[in-house]
Chain A
């Protein structure tokens, strides 16, 4: 059914890289899902059914990974042998962390403000811009080989992790604001 040893990129017949044609990825995902979907093997033997389920799971995993810039970058780094042992890794960039702290503080102050909605919108705009900048950097860093670029890409991935967390916090706050209205 599927070759489980192939990379996610190979699975979708795409070349391994950070720049991915997302609509094309989605199209190939739907095609693959049709091929491996367990419904098609309802009448088949147990082994085939199990294989179909495993294949469908793999296709879902691959799609989830490749469509998301952060997960795609992390996956590319893993393919290049970089283990992102994030648990014990502290980002060593005081200026970036200072900015994160300031944004978190601004986010915390939103609820007390009379113009909460406008402030949150402005902050989400800022966060969105920062994420876009980081994605653009990753695109350059991951296209190059070489140890220096790889190290820079790891740093960018770490920064993306902070920014995604910040974005999630902002979205949670947005939900709170909507509930309050």
Chain B
């Protein structure tokens, strides 16, 4: 199966690969995994006092589409508020990367990851 140019670009030059301090109060961590393919994804956001995501990092072990989906998502969420980031739909990711139907679940995984990261951040704030 042929990957789109955008997927290949993100796969070969992934943006924002790395790790943020999981224990810090202003960091939210989302861990997700797809049992069908065994892919695991960690997506982290750093949120400032205004509720804006000022940094995002990810690490994904999986196929090119899963890596590209999470890489693209970290680019998109930077500078957005939590509410805006939560509104990002997997279909937008799939469309931007021109993912074929069998790879749509990779974009779903990325959407789950950002939602989990936001939930983790908010549970820390509430605690």
Contacts and interface: CB of A to CB of B under 8 A. Distances in A.
Contacts of B59: 101, 105
Given A90-B33, A101-B40, 11 more contacts: A86-B35, A87-B34, A90-B112, A94-B31, A94-B116, A97-B40, A101-B31, A101-B42, A104-B40, A161-B36, A162-B35
A100 B59 CA distance: 12
Contact of A158 (B35, B105, B108, B109): B35
Contacts of B36: 86-87, 89, 161
A100 B33 contact: yes
Nearest to A158: B35
Interface string B48-64: 00000000000101000
Interface of B: 31-38, 40, 42, 59, 61, 105, 108-109, 112, 116
22 contacts: A86-B35, A86-B36, A87-B105, A88-B105, A89-B35, A90-B33, A90-B109, A94-B31, A94-B116, A97-B31, A97-B32, A97-B33, A97-B40, A98-B31, A100-B33, A101-B40, A101-B42, A101-B59, A104-B61, A162-B33, A165-B38, A166-B38
Contacts of A161: 35-36, 38
Size range of the chain A interface in the assembly: 20 to 34
A164 interface: yes
A162 B112 contact: no
A49 to B, nearest CB: 35
Contact of A89 (B31, B34, B40, B61): B34
Interface in A7-50: none
